[in-house]
Amino acid sequence: MTVDADLVIVGSGFFGLTVARRCADDLGLKVLVLERRTHIGGNAYSEAEPQTGIEVHRYGAHLFHTSNERVWDYCNRFTKFTNYVHRVFTTYRGEVYPMPVSLATINQYFRKALTPAQARGLVAEQAAELDTAGASNFEDKAISLIGRPLYEAFFRGYTAKQWQTDPRELPGEIVTRLPVRYTYDNRYFNDTYEGLPVDGYTAWLERLADHPNIEVRLESDFLHDGPLGKAAVVGQVPVVYTGPVDAYFGNAEGELTWRTLDFEQEVLPVGDFQGTPVMNYADEDVPFTRTHEFRHFHPERSYPDDATVVVKEFSRFAGRGDEPYYPVNTPADRQRLLAYRDLARGERGVLFGGRLGTYKYLDMHMAIAAALSMVDNKLVPHFRDGAG
């Protein structure tokens, strides 16, 4: 059977849909998007909890933030954003602290009233055990930034639950996702632009896909046989693949390690359960990493005042059949990834992208930026200029 499209995109997350939309808009291509799940949007998908109408991010909380002007402008074509600013608190041994580590966290933890300079001095002393220049793994990087006592309180237990991997095997970049501030500013992100889509993630993603040249086919698994499966499509039509790179190659170079999440959702008969959208739990003996109370992401909406949706998040290694969420990226994974990159380069007519397709811990704005670049650098030259 011939595929009636100029381009096939596997996966309808932000990466796949951004590529689809630009190819339809700018290149006039007919694009077929194949989605394995019953809905679009990948892990950014959200829906209203039926009893309360509260928007729940089905695959864990998604907070949009970027400093990339082009990404921000592009996103604003498809959604307006609220003025939501993300703030997180963490519970450690029965006490609540602001997270990320700021002067407020430091002073509360040490029961002091240090100035910024004094707090810097204290942390520098506590980090002195390390040669900070060489700090590249998670633990060394964290200690170099905040010293051992704060690391042990706020990062060690949480990270043990989130990754179940020796923190010396994890990349330091995971910890530098979080700012450390010697001020009382407790914003979670440093980016210029931040907000949540006013009418929800799914409405945003649907508008992105809403183009006469884009067809999204749900429940279509590219890695299974069939007329729209890999064997039939590759070689016939150019493909952008955004699923897990190891699965594409049948795990030929060994499985990459991924973390998956489990969620326990409850509707509680109270107007406010925790007073904030996200509460982290730093203690290792609390089995979940964090609780989300979704109403607090949209204080501008009129949600019921006698019911709330609370979701506990648990993390574990992904096995066969589990949804991959986080690339673990141990040294062994990085070796395997190099082998997969070689295979990917040799796979004619297929481009790999997105968090799963590149095994990179991409945030939404990074996935969108990477999608815009793939169109500029690969698809425009191929389709418009006839190169490649």
In the window 130-169, what residues touch ligand UDP (CB under 6 A)? 154-155, 158-159, 162
Rounded to a whole number of angstroms, the minimum distance from the CB of residue 180 to ligand UDP is 11
Buried b / exposed e along 223-255 (16+ C-beta atoms within 10 A): eeeeebebebbbeebbbbbbbbbbbbeeeebee
Binding mask 187-226 for ligand UDP (x = CB under 6 A): ----------------------------------------
Pick the closest to residue 214 from 14, 3, 25 (CA basis). 25
> Which residue number, 42 or 238, has a Cβ lying nearer to ligand UDP?
42
Handedness of CA 148, 152, 153, 159 (dihedral sign): positive
* CA distance linking residue 143 with residue 128, whole number of Å: 9
Can residue 367 be called a binding residue for ligand UDP (CB under 6 A)?
no
Q: What's the min distance (Å) between Cβ of 338 and ligand UDP?
A: 24
* Catalytic residue positions, numbered: 177, 181, 259, 290, 313, 361, 363
Q: Which is nearer to ligand UDP, 173 or 210 (CB)?
A: 173
Q: How far is the CB of 178 from ligand UDP (least distance, A)?
A: 6
43 makes contact with ligand UDP (CB under 6 A):
no
Q: Is 99 in the site for ligand UDP (CB under 6 A)?
A: yes
Q: For the segment 168-187, give every residue that binds ligand UDP (CB under 6 A).
A: 174-175, 177-178
Say if CB 253 and CB 246 are below 8 A apart.
yes
Amino acid at 66: T
Cis upstream peptide for 100 (omega within 30°): yes
Residues 6 or more apart whose Cβ sits within 8 Å of residue 248: 223, 230, 241, 344, 352, 357
Footprint of ligand UDP on residues 258-287 (CB under 6 A)? 280, 282
* Closer residue to ligand UDP, CB minimum distance, 178 or 240: 178
Rg of the chain's alpha carbons, rounded to an integer? Answer: 22
* Closest CB to ligand UDP among residues 129, 173: 173
The number of beta carbons lying within 10 Å of the beta carbon of residue 125 is: 10
Residues in touch with ligand UDP (CB under 6 A): 90, 99, 154-155, 158-159, 162, 174-175, 177-178, 280, 282
